[in-house]
Structure 1
Amino acid sequence: MKIVKTDPLSPIATELMAELSEVLATITGSSGTNSFDVTDIKHPDALFALAFDDTGRPIGCGALRPLEHGIGELKRMYARSGTQGVGRALLAFLEERARELGYRQLWLETRKVNQRAVNFYQSRGYQVINNYGRYQGRDDAICFAKDIRLSIKKQTP
């Protein structure tokens, strides 16, 4: 698998985000497009990543954008059906880039009904936090945070 930073307006990125929107609409009743503006990824401390399998087929995507000083927000995380390990690889890639950009924490929101996503993030060390920003007061939303400084691997001498 290969993961690369790319333009979120590229045809492949647009295709994957459209697939994600269809999947989210089926699971949650909302495509999630109202909470993501692709121009947010044009910020110097933001990025959009695509995952490709060994044959070069696009199999997933994810985005990182600034939220507050030292806090980045994960958006548009998606792995095509039938793939294995794509979400984990994308998340690790985005966490590493976030550390390189100086973020201390990553936050994200998903819908409570999207139990697969809830379980995914919890199994990777994300903790439930109070709903933030546009998600405050939304009973259908669940927000998570992870201190990515704790994820830095210690090097042995």
Structure 2
Amino acid sequence: MHIFRTDSAHTDFQNLVKSLDAALSEHNGENDSFFAQFNKIDTIKNCVVAYIDDIPAACGAFKPLSEETVEIKRMFTNPEFRKKGLASAIVKELERWAAELSFKKAVLETSRDLKNAISVYEKNGFYRIPNYGQYAGVEQSVCYEKVL
């Protein structure tokens, strides 16, 4: 496995995000447009792509929420590469990169029904917090935080 730091203009990142968006659209159903508005990638400067044998297999990104906090976004592993530790590797790389840039904390939102995603975040030291920002009061969402 090789992890590559890039930005949201990178073609492999964009293609993985298209697969993510298709999966989320199916998962979110009639609520998809609500969540999709927060998932635009046109200006994300901190993105990573994991490759296995030169095949783009997983991705993730973060964007600043404040001077101290980043929000982890666009986490996805191609189904054929799941259960190989890629999601954890992506999370750890995003944490390292955010810390290098002097951010102190990472937050994220996911669906309460995405048990595999929740498992990855909890296994990597994220803990549940009250839903923040646009996710406050959204029953389908759960939010997490980690001090970097």
Output one character per residue of 1:56-108: Cα deviation in whole Å (capped at 9) or x when no partner. 00001100110122111100011111321110111111010011011111000
Secondary structure (helix, strand or coil) at the match of 1:41 reads: coil
Moved more, 5-14 or 130-139: 5-14
Listed as ranges, the gaps of 5+ residues in structure 1 are 149-157
Structure 2 counterpart of 1:52: 51
Structure 1 counterpart of 2:100: 100
Secondary structure (helix, strand or coil) at the match of 2:37 reads: helix
Structure 2 counterpart of 1:35: 38
Pair 1:27–1:116, CA change in 2 (3 A): farther
CA RMSD of aligned residues (A): 1.5
Listed as ranges, the gaps of 5+ residues in structure 2 are none
Structure 2 counterpart of 1:81: 79
Secondary structure (helix, strand or coil) at the match of 1:78 reads: strand
Selected match of 1:64 from 56, 62, 65: 62
1:35 positional shift: 1.1
Moved more, 10-19 or 94-103: 10-19
Counterpart mapping for 1:13-28 below 5 A: 13-28=13-28
TM-score by length of 1: 0.85
What is the aligned residue count? 143
Secondary structure (helix, strand or coil) at the match of 1:103 reads: coil
Moved over 6 A (4+): none
Counterpart mapping for 1:115-130 below 5 A: 115-130=115-130
Pair 1:7–1:68, CA change in 2 (3 A): closer
TM-score by length of 2: 0.89
Secondary structure (helix, strand or coil) at the match of 1:107 reads: strand
- Percent identity (aligned): 30
